Amino acid sequence: MSTQEAQSILLTHSHPQQSFRLLELSPELEQLLSSKDAPAEQFPHLFVGSTNTTSFELKSPSAALAQAVADPSAPEYVNLCTQTQTYRILQVQSSNSIHMLQPSLGHISRADIKVVEEEAGETGALNLPDKAMTTIAKCASTLGLHTPSGGFSAIPFLEKSLRLYDRRSDDDDADDGDVAMGDTSCGGQMGLLEVQRLREGVCADIPVSTAQCEDGWTELCAFVHREQDEVACCRPSARTRLNVWKRMVEGAILQGIDLEKQFLVGDLWKSVLDDDDTSALPFPRNLLEAVVRRLCALDQRPPLADEMKWASFDKLDCTRWVGETYLAATAPTPSSAIGRNEFLRAWKDCLPESWRGEAALSKLTDGAYKSPDPTAIHFVEASQRQQTSKAASAGSTTASNAKVTRNWHELLKSRR
d(CA 6, CA 13): 22
Confidence of residue 416 (pLDDT cuts 50, 70, 90): very low
pLDDT band at 45 (very low <50, low <70, confident <90, very high): very low
The answer to whether residue 203 is domain-embedded is yes
Predicted local distance difference test score (pLDDT) of residue 53: 43
Question: In the predicted model, what is the mean pLDDT of residues 83-110?
Answer: 80
33-42, 260-269, 281-290, 382-391: least confident range: 33-42
DSSP annotation of 313: B
pLDDT at 387: 63
Question: What average pLDDT score do residues 325-344 get?
Answer: 97
Contacts made by residues 359-362, CB under 8 angstroms, sequence distance 24+: 359/319, 359/323
52-69 per-position pLDDT tens digit? 445 788 998 888 888 788
Q: Of 313, 338, 372, which closes a domain?
A: 313
Would you state the pLDDT for residue 38?
60
Identify the residue with better confidence: 17 or 354: 354
What's the pLDDT tens digit per position in 239-261? 999 999 999 999 999 999 999 99
Candidate ranges 62-76, 278-292, 314-328; pick with highest mean pLDDT: 314-328
88 and 164 fall within a common domain: no
Name the pairing type of β-strands 79-81 and 86-103: antiparallel
Residue 180 has pLDDT above 80, yes or no: no
For the segment 183-192, the average pLDDT, to the nearest whole number, is 54
> What is the C-alpha to C-alpha distance for residues 40 and 49, in angstroms, rounded to an integer?
8
132 falls in which pLDDT band (50, 70, 90)? confident
pTM for the model: 0.79
Residue 128, Cα to own-chain centre: how many angstroms? 56
Yes or no: say if 199 and 260 are a contact pair by the CB < 8 Å rule. no
Q: Is residue 362 part of a domain?
A: no
Answer yes or no: are the C-beta atoms of 340 and 376 closer than 8 Å: yes
Backbone angles phi, psi at 405, to 5 degrees: -60, -40
What pLDDT, on a 0 to 100 scale, did the predictor assign at position 145? 92
Residues 161 and 306 both lie in one domain: yes
Note whether residue 355 is domain-resident: no
Q: Contact at 8 Å (CB) between 103 and 130?
A: no
- 3 belongs to a structural domain: no
Same domain, 135 and 199: no
The answer on 214 and 197 residing in a single domain is yes
Alpha-carbon span 227 to 100, nearest angstrom: 58
pLDDT at 404: 39
pLDDT score at 20: 81
Give yes or no for residue 220 having a pLDDT over 90.
Answer: yes
The rounded Cα 361 to chain-centroid distance in angstroms is 28
Mean per-residue pLDDT of the chain: 80
Q: Are residues 94 and 180 in the same domain?
A: no
> What range defines the domain where residue 93 resides?
10-102+130-146
- Whether 128 has a pLDDT exceeding 50, the answer reads yes
Note whether residue 304 is domain-resident: yes
Most confident of 68-72, 108-112, 229-233, 290-294: 290-294
Q: Is the pLDDT of residue 274 over 60?
A: yes
Q: How far apart are CA 156 and CA 222, in angstroms?
A: 13
Domain boundary (252, 286, 313) is at 313
Do 139 and 205 lie in a common domain? Answer: no
Q: Which of 79, 113, 146 is the last residue of a domain?
A: 146
Residues 165 and 308 in one domain: yes
Pairing state of beta strands 131-146 and 9-13?
A: parallel
Partnered with residue 87 across adjacent β-strands are: 80
Whether residues 306 and 180 share a domain: the answer is yes
Q: Is residue 171 part of a domain?
A: yes
Tell me: do 213 and 140 sit in the same domain: no
pLDDT of residue 141: 81
Same domain, 138 and 215: no
CA–CA separation, 82 and 278 (whole Å): 46
| Closest C-alpha among 79, 228, 102 to residue 154 | 79
Q: What is the pLDDT of residues 394-405, one digit of tens each?
A: 444 444 443 434
- Give me the pLDDT at residue 93, please: 76
Is residue 14 a part of any domain in this protein? yes
Fill in the amino acid letter for 53: T
Cα 73–chain centre separation = 17
Q: Which helix (H) or strand (E) holds 227?
A: strand 223-227
Instruction: Indicate if 288 and 178 belong to the same structural domain.
Output: yes
Please report the pLDDT score of residue 212 as a whole number.
96
CA nearest neighbour of 339 among 365, 374, 368 = 374
Interior angle at CA 89, CA 86 and CA 90, nearest 5: 145
Q: How many domains, in total, are found in the chain? A: 2
Has residue 347 been placed in a domain?
no
CA dist 44 and 276 (Å) reads 62
pLDDT of 186 > 50? The answer is: no
Per-residue pLDDT band for 34 (boundaries 50, 70, 90) equals confident
Residue 115 to residue 13: CA distance in whole angstroms = 11
Residues 136 and 217 in one domain: no
In the 8-state DSSP scheme, what is residue 170?
T
pLDDT of residue 407: 45
State whether residue 310 is helix, strand or coil: strand
